[in-house]
């Protein structure tokens, strides 16, 4: 029963946090205030009943703190490394006639937690095994650590702080400087856990998985490690996934774990085995380096010999040009691999990579392709003197004691991926299938140099179909989305150019003022723009400055040749929704999507917001009798709820 209540408590924490984020950060509501208060009270009751409060709970407010440095502290008992093997037969010898707990060996940062009187008292990193760093303030903002537990005696446990592959990729995407990006989730986790400002830690989605109980004052675990893990779950901790195995079942279970590594949300570099019988394990003592009650199994890296075909030089938005090894395809860990990043020129020199060399490749942690060694070492390939994207000069620079190649051209297209990303975004040309990562690849290969080139990607159909992540279906979907984007509006185009400060709403105002006359807009002066309601001196200056650049004008005119922009008659007398505020929710049938309704409302002078408030005039919802939070709020405030058909009648003749 307590386990069900603990699960319900976690469910409530997640639900209430989603509602809070929607309300405070996204100006939206996923539940009414009444419903929020009801669930909040239920969470409080469960926390009091179970004596557990999770770090992410909305019932606690963990303050952010900035430290000058992380204090050091000596561990009460040394944290030894584990003896390890890649041989299952050796695991069988270790197990003997005992039962062992076998779990993921998570690849993160080991943390020791101490609780006193039911509250988190201290968190210390493993450090060198003897001395670690105190990171208590940071641990308080991990996503899943209990700040309060029901056990009142002293509790000491160990676990792994980790960051998921998904969060790792998301955080790395946000780091503009490629050299500053983290190499793997473990490095990111280490940097996140050891921050001096725990507000940064809070944004990194660090999670903690307990793997060992050191001490739990006054508690009898009946000499069983598994009993300890079950007890820790009841205290509100997430524990590392484990299986009870014997010498007869260990081989099968190792295979089961290895087959799941590619789908695992968190990085793992192997497995850990520990005797379930606590007294037996402790009786074995330890060596000078390892405890004898536990053993680590490391994934045996599957390696393949292949032949290096070429080094592809891939420019990035920071100007860094990354070397990528292209080799004859080989099967590794169940997938076909034909490329691996070499990272920088120093590594190339160390490997003495030359075209035609026989190389050995593997997947680090069974996931990331790497070159293990060069078997023939014919010598370094030539480093390009010109950027493969823009053709301007390159330069070798030393960064963090490693040599790297850079493009020296500040206007190189590869440095403007963000601009292309904005151009294809939903409020601009709305082209699906062109993620930032895909754009970066296309630009690096020279497929895209300016916006108009996107409408001619079919010139590279064969190359795109053969790219990793692309196939016939995804290619056809991309081309269809590009063709669909040709029919658009001038405000979307203006917004998509990325003029500083000019959002979609500003673009609509400017286009309406100039009656969609492109030539008039290109030659507008600051004074004229400044007179437009809602366009001040800063925006007018940015707009005029942008079109003083002849290249920007050329790019726009080339783009307009690819687009179909229907003639729009702007009549300010038709602004029948002037001053009216709408909220749109639910599915639509008469319009392609809710965005189309929003565009119509704004063209008629109205505004669309995300949440129902006392200032809302109408809520548009085809299910007018729905019990959704927005409908409830509208009914509470006596705000009319209208269907699409009601809205169409309201704007009859204007759609």
Catalytic residues: 105
Structure-token pair, residue 479: 């081309």
The phi and psi torsions of 431 (rounded to 5 degrees) equal -105, 110
CB of 496 closer than 8 Å to CB of 428: yes
CB of 179 closer than 8 Å to CB of 318: yes
Question: Which residues contact residue 554 at a Cβ distance below 8 angstroms, ignoring those fewer than 6 apart?
Answer: none
For residue 42, is it left (φ>0), alpha (ψ between -120 and 50) or beta? alpha
**DSSP E strand stretches across 449-580:** none
Question: Which residues contact residue 273 at a Cβ distance below 8 angstroms, ignoring those fewer than 6 apart?
Answer: 91, 94, 95, 100, 101, 102, 245, 250, 294, 295, 296, 297
Tokens 């995407």: give the residue. 173
Sign of CA dihedral 458, 422, 313, 188: negative
Reported as half-sphere exposure (CB side, CA atoms, 13 A), residue 452 has a value of 13
Question: Which residues contact residue 575 at a Cβ distance below 8 angstroms, ignoring those fewer than 6 apart?
Answer: 604, 605
Sign of CA dihedral 32, 10, 162, 250: negative
Which of 538-545's residues contact partners 24+ apart within 8 Å by CB, and which partners? 538/501, 539/501, 539/502, 539/506, 542/499, 542/500, 542/501, 542/502, 543/499, 543/502, 543/510
CB of 207 closer than 8 Å to CB of 162: yes
């Amino acid at each position: 029963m307590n386990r069900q209540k603990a699960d319900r408590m976690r469910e409530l924490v997640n639900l209430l946090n989603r509602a809070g984020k929607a309300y405070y950060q996204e100006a939206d509501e996923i539940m009414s205030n009444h419903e929020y208060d009801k669930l909040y009270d239920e969470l409080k009751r469960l926390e009091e009943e179970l004596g557990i409060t999770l770090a992410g709970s909305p019932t606690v407010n963990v303050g952010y703190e900035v430290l000058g440095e992380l204090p050091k502290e000596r561990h009460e008992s040394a944290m030894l490394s584990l003896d390890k093997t890649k041989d299952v037969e050796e695991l069988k010898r270790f197990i003997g006639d005992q039962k062992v707990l076998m779990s993921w060996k998570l690849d993160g940062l080991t943390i020791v937690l101490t609780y006193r009187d039911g509250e988190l008292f201290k968190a210390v990193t493993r450090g060198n095994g003897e001395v670690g760093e105190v990171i208590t303030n940071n641990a308080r903002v991990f996503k899943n650590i209990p700040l309060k537990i029901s056990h009142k005696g002293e509790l000491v446990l160990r676990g792994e702080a980790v960051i998921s592959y998904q969060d790792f990729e998301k955080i790395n995407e946000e780091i503009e400087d490629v050299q500053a990006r983290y190499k793997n989730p473990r490095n990111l986790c280490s940097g996140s856990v050891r921050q001096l400002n725990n507000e940064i830690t809070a944004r990194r989605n660090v999670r903690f998985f307990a793997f060992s109980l050191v001490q739990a004052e006054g508690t009898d675990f009946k000499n069983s490690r598994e009993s300890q893990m079950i007890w820790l779950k009841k205290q509100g901790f997430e524990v590392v996934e484990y299986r009870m195995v014997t010498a007869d079942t260990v081989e099968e279970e190792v295979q089961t774990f290895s087959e799941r590594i590619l789908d695992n949300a968190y990085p793992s570099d192997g497995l850990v085995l520990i005797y379930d019988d606590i007294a037996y394990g402790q009786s074995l003592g330890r060596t000078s380096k390892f405890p004898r009650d536990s053993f680590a199994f490391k994934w045996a890296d599957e390696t393949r010999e292949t032949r290096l075909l070429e080094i592809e030089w891939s420019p990035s938005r920071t100007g860094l040009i990354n070397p990528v090894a292209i080799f004859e395809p080989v099967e590794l860990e169940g997938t076909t691999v034909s490329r691996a990043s070499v990272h920088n020129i120093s590594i190339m020199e160390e490997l003495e990579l030359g075209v035609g060399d026989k190389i050995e490749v593997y997947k680090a942690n069974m996931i990331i392709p790497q070159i293990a060694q060069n078997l023939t070492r014919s010598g370094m390939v030539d480093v390009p003197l010109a950027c493969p994207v823009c053709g301007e000069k390159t330069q070798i620079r030393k960064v963090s004691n490693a040599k790297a190649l850079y493009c020296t051209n500040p206007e190189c297209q590869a440095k403007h991926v963000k601009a292309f990303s904005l151009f294809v975004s939903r409020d601009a040309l709305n082209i699906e299938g062109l993620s930032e990562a895909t754009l970066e690849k296309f630009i690096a290969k020279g497929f895209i140099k300016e916006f108009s080139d996107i409408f001619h990607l079919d010139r590279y159909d064969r190359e795109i179909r053969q790219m990793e992540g692309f196939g016939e279906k995804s290619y056809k979907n991309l081309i269809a989305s590009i063709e669909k984007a040709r029919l658009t509006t001038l405000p979307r185009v203006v917004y998509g150019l990325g003029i500083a400060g000019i959002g979609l709403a500003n673009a609509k105002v400017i286009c309406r003022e100039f009656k969609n006359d492109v030539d008039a807009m290109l030659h507008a002066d600051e004074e004229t723009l400044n007179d437009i309601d809602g366009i001040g001196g800063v925006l007018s200056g940015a707009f005029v400055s942008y079109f003083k650049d002849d290249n920007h004008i050329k790019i726009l005119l080339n783009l307009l040749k690819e687009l179909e922009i229907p003639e729009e008659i702007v009549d300010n007398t038709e602004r029948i929704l002037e001053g009216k505020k709408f909220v749109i929710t639910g599915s639509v049938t008469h319009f392609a999507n809710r965005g189309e309704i929003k565009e119509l409302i704004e063209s008629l002078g109205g505004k669309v917001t995300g949440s129902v408030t006392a200032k809302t005039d109408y809520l548009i919802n085809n299910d007018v009798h729905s019990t959704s939070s927005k409908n409830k709020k509208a009914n509470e405030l006596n705000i009319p709820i209208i269907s699409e058909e009601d809205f169409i009648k309201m704007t009859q003749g204007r759609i």
